[in-house]
Amino acid sequence: MNATVFEKFQESNKFKAILLTALPLVVGGLSAAIAGDMSKQNYAQPPLSPPAWFFPVVWTVLYLMMGFASYLVYRDCDYLLNDAMKCFFYQLFVNFSWSIVFFRFEFYTAAAVVLLALLLLTIGTTAQFFGINKTAGKLMVPYIAWLAFALYLNVGVAVLNR
């Protein structure tokens, strides 16, 4: 008899780890597909802007780290939708939205507002994660640092391309 995905999720820690670790990659990939060609940068960029190839590398690493952090929190809690995981899913949705606002619609100022909201949600998520699993909290810290840098870049693009 074939087990459903839900049954596998409830039975297997390995399956849970893979699923939760991969979830941000899937969400990021879907967002990128909707956002369109992110390599075309037909806008002025602020100082310290990395080359275009750097972004997918960083995001892949960050998505894996935050996904594994979510697994650690899930593993250490009694149920999936605890407050920490709710915060995680909220920030993941806002993360999904940012590239669409920035790249698809080219609303640079609105994207900066979305990114600020994402940064604040991620700080809250990280604080929740630290309260449950210190390793999970530590895995989120580079994401916060990158979001702060991304906010600088986003605001720079918004100001330079009025």
Q: How far is CA 150 from CA 18, 46, 97, 119, 131, in A?
A: 27, 11, 14, 10, 26
Dist. CA 26–CA 100, nearest whole Å: 15
Q: Does the pLDDT value for residue 9 go beyond 60?
A: no
CB–CB of 146/58 below 8 Å?
yes
**Lowest-pLDDT range of 29-33, 37-41, 115-119:** 37-41
**CATH class (in words) of the domain with range 5-37+47-160:** mainly alpha
CB–CB of 99/154 below 8 Å?
no
pLDDT per residue as tens digits for the range 63-119: 999 999 999 999 998 777 789 999 999 999 999 999 999 999 999 999 999 999 999
pLDDT per residue as tens digits for the range 112-157: 999 999 999 999 999 999 999 999 999 999 999 999 999 999 999 9
Report pTM: 0.90
Q: Does the pLDDT value for residue 45 go beyond 80?
A: yes
**Amino acid sitting at position 151:** L
